[in-house]
Amino acid sequence: MSLRCRKPRGSLLCLGLLTLGAASARLPRGPAAPLRVCSDPNNLPFSNQRREGFENEIAAVLAGELHAPLEYTWAPMWRGFVRKTIGEGRCDVIMGVPAESDRVLTTRPYYASTYVFLSRRDRGIHIGSFDDPALRRLRIGIHFIGDDYTNPPPAHALGRRHIVQNVVGYSMYGDYSKPNPPADLVKAVSRGDVDVAILWGPFAGYFASRSSVPMSITPVTPDVDPPGLRFTFAIAVGVSKDQPALRAQLDTALEKHRREIRRILERYGVPLVDTSCVSAKEAACG
């Protein structure tokens, strides 16, 4: 998740899909084994150490269904996060993994979302496509990761159109000593520092709903920029490769609590896309 210029953090997706580390061998889970989750302690709307994010709430639902204590290991979701967590045996599960991940086992997707255009409502800016001529004159804010090949999709879509001089980058790292650094981009829209932001939908929906300035959110269309740059992604639970039985249990729990999970996501303002419209390779409902 999520398109200044230092290295990545945020949801695995917003960071251009963090490289997933290999899992190490562990003993089988017993019937009373805890659900061990590795998560970022300062990354709303996804998670924080006070368990106030939607991923925290969904993890609690899953643990309840498994009749398992919920245990957290906290670590900033920066480069190497999965390798340093699941890969080192510190947990069995990471919430919010791209469903097409091949370095961990992934459950069925429990939501899909999209990148969006965000602007102040009082500006009357109506943009839904990267081909809108207005993007060449507006001041555009995007999240940057740093290395060109790992930057989120909006950076590549703008670059392909040679829209660069009017783009302002906001680091996904930001100042980690302050709450929720990626929110700086939404605050920049609110202050008028940029005219429009292009960012991962869960960030936009959550922080815009808490802004003192009314915001407009418009999904990026189409959801695939030819020949294959995607803006819509399905999200799953990532599970250690040596825990296939746990993955099966989580799949069952996700299906059983599908409506409850959707209500959680809606309460956090996550722009939702039908998961049946998102395949592992491309968005199928463009």
Token pair, residue 19, equals: 């490289």
Residue 30 lies in a domain: no
Percent of the chain whose predicted confidence (pLDDT) is above 90: 71
The CATH number of whichever domain residue 107 belongs to comes to 3.40.190.10
CA distance 23 to 13: 19
Cα dihedral 235, 57, 65, 107, rounded to 10, equals 10
CA gap 3, 143 in Å, rounded? 4
Question: Closest Cα to residue 259, out of 58, 96, 93, 63?
Answer: 58
Q: What is the pTM of this model?
A: 0.85
Number of structural domains (the chain) is 2
Kindly state whether residues 87 and 193 are assigned to the same domain. no
| Higher pLDDT, residue 20 or 122 | 122
pLDDT tens digit sequence for 162-209: 999 999 999 887 778 888 888 999 999 999 999 999 999 999 999 999
β pairing state of 70-74 and 35-39: parallel
Average pLDDT, the chain: 86
Give CA torsion, residues 148, 203, 99, 160, to 10 deg. -30
| CA gap 228, 235 in Å, rounded | 19
- Is 24 among the domain residues? no
| Assigned domain for 214 exists | yes
Query: CA angle at residue 158 from 153 to 162, to 5 degrees?
Result: 145
Same-domain check for residues 123 and 222: yes
Q: Which domain holds residue 145?
A: 114-230
Please say if the pLDDT value at position 8 is more than 70: no
Tokens of 21: 């580390």
Q: Which of 113, 144, 125 is nearest to 214 (CA)?
A: 125
8 Å CB contact between 16 and 150: yes
